[in-house]
Structure 1
């Protein structure tokens, strides 16, 4: 059974659970996420194992967990002292281009996403703003229309990255570009992120990874719970959703820009996965990139 917990890509590019509580006396879980995870401990004590290293968890700790990084949590809790945490997981590829206008912040983001983290657990004991930022983001998500959640995500992410950049140990520019080894599945997703607009060639991906098409297909399905083609389709639809809500491009043009040769097929897949037609989605979304001044 796969330990990867995929995001529900047809619904959102992130998951945010504020102050979740667990009362089990001994809470233990081994898993990994396809996104970048920020895990903040409000209450609870125990240990987390990441990359064969064990770190002590205590209140006001922040754990940074990279995509596909297996980790094992072991927490002691009770009815009187439950395990309380906030979990924020998001797709790095979704926010990547939003952060590019900020070179220093973007470099730091890429370090968290793909670099070799010196210290994945950080004490936030003296950073009172962080808890406030989590609470405010939770409130904003409850108040605004769900189609504006992307905007809230970007604003929140820029805020906390700016905060963390001043807290984490300083690293050299050379260290910032040093990449950790990627899993095969992550390499497939990186390829899709860069090439989703073009024709999908399984043989090309397999050749790049020095694996057979059969092996890489089954490896991806076993870990992700969906086929490579299904994941590619969702990636294209997510990009189409962004264009529908942020541009005035025609629906046919958007379909072509994200890799669909047929406009009718694009509309069919969009309605099947999103639950409404591209036109309906555009009408229900607020165009927050092109707001009237």
Structure 2
């Protein structure tokens, strides 16, 4: 099933930093996607990632960049004597773009990586003394309880990373015309449409008309490309928005359930607890 809640943090705070070291069992991946820009750095271990219909090996020193809504899956072999250690950093690009505007070449590169077809997403065999390795290890220690300062730290991390990628030659295509915009998969187009309509009663007819395909194909292609049903995704998107409103507003919980498109309040509370692990009221108090 699609891990729909990997990006809850982007709805509450527009960034996420996740360090993880796996030391046992075998991690089997699944196709999923993220709303934000994502950087992944492998400190040690091995596995593979499938992205853009290509299989890339994951080894110590592998760096990977993923675009918003880009489908991918990771498989990692973890043994007691061969752990897998990685750092993942994700940002919401619409929030962070203004940090790049004062540096024209990086701003252009940022927009390119955000919106356009990209040919190179993986750097291999960066040793532990490399700039990126040290950068990611450094930023494991700088975050505080101050959200504003953390946002500045994330911006600096992405600015330094994108400058490194640019100087490595990955931005040379920008010296001429930009590459054409990436052709989105149907599932990505569906998620983009739902971003504007998830709070409404979802009409497969309207969605199918927007995509110029049959409404029967809409559900089928979404399941094929994401391993998740359309209804599961819509529910998850609504609950994510409810998390944001519970965190950032004083609106009543029943009002929030209606605002996110869930008019059956008991069902909203039941679904919220199933997916988040607490009731909406407990979530608000904890926050």
Q: Map of 1:69-148 to 2, 5 A cutoff?
A: 69=71, 82=82, 84-88=84-88, 95-96=92-93, 98-99=95-96, 102=99, 104=101, 111-122=112-123, 125-127=130-132, 129-133=134-138, 135-136=140-141
Q: Kindly tell me: are residues 101 and 231 of structure 1, through their superposed partners in 2, closer, same or farther at Cα, counting changes over 3 Å?
A: same
Q: Which residue of 2 aligns with 1:164?
A: 161
TM-score by length of 1: 0.67
Distance apart, 1:201 and its partner CA = 1.4
Q: Kindly tell me: are residues 107 and 234 of structure 1, through their superposed partners in 2, closer, same or farther at Cα, counting changes over 3 Å?
A: farther
Q: Secondary structure at the match of 2:228?
A: coil
Cα shift readout 1:53-74 (whole Å, capped 9, x = no counterpart): 7878664331223444457889
Q: Kindly tell me: are residues 181 and 246 of structure 1, through their superposed partners in 2, closer, same or farther at Cα, counting changes over 3 Å?
A: same
Q: Which residue of 1 aligns with 2:208?
A: 206
Q: Kindly tell me: are residues 214 and 56 of structure 1, through their superposed partners in 2, closer, same or farther at Cα, counting changes over 3 Å?
A: closer
Unpaired runs of 5+ in structure 1? 286-293
Distance 1:136 1:225 in 2: 36
**Alpha carbons 2:87, 2:136 under 8 Å: kept:** no
Q: Secondary structure at the match of 1:64?
A: strand
Distance apart, 1:9 and its partner CA = 2.1
Q: Map of 1:1-293 to 2, 5 A cutoff?
A: 6-9=2-5, 12=8, 16-20=18-22, 32-35=31-34, 37-43=38-44, 51=52, 59-66=60-67, 67-69=69-71, 82=82, 84-88=84-88, 95-96=92-93, 98-99=95-96, 102=99, 104=101, 111-122=112-123, 125-127=130-132, 129-133=134-138, 135-136=140-141, 157-169=154-166, 170=171, 172=174, 178-285=180-287
Distance apart, 1:250 and its partner CA = 2.5
Q: Which residue of 1 aligns with 2:12?
A: none
**Alpha carbons 1:37, 1:87 under 8 Å: kept:** no
**Alpha carbons 2:116, 2:181 under 8 Å: kept:** yes
Moved more, 198-207 or 120-129: 120-129
Distance apart, 1:237 and its partner CA = 0.9
Q: Kindly tell me: are residues 79 and 224 of structure 1, through their superposed partners in 2, closer, same or farther at Cα, counting changes over 3 Å?
A: closer
**Alpha carbons 2:2, 2:228 under 8 Å: kept:** no
Distance 1:240 1:89 in 2: 23
TM-score by length of 2: 0.68
Distance apart, 1:236 and its partner CA = 1.0
Distance apart, 1:282 and its partner CA = 0.7
Distance apart, 1:258 and its partner CA = 2.1
Cα shift readout 1:24-48 (whole Å, capped 9, x = no counterpart): 9xx9x88643125533232468987
Distance apart, 1:115 and its partner CA = 2.4
Moved more, 238-247 or 47-56: 47-56
Q: Kindly tell me: are residues 85 and 270 of structure 1, through their superposed partners in 2, closer, same or farther at Cα, counting changes over 3 Å?
A: closer
Distance apart, 1:103 and its partner CA = 5.8
Unpaired runs of 5+ in structure 2? 10-15
**Alpha carbons 1:19, 1:42 under 8 Å: kept:** no
Q: Kindly tell me: are residues 277 and 115 of structure 1, through their superposed partners in 2, closer, same or farther at Cα, counting changes over 3 Å?
A: same
Greater strand share, 1 or 2? Answer: 1
Q: Secondary structure at the match of 1:167?
A: helix
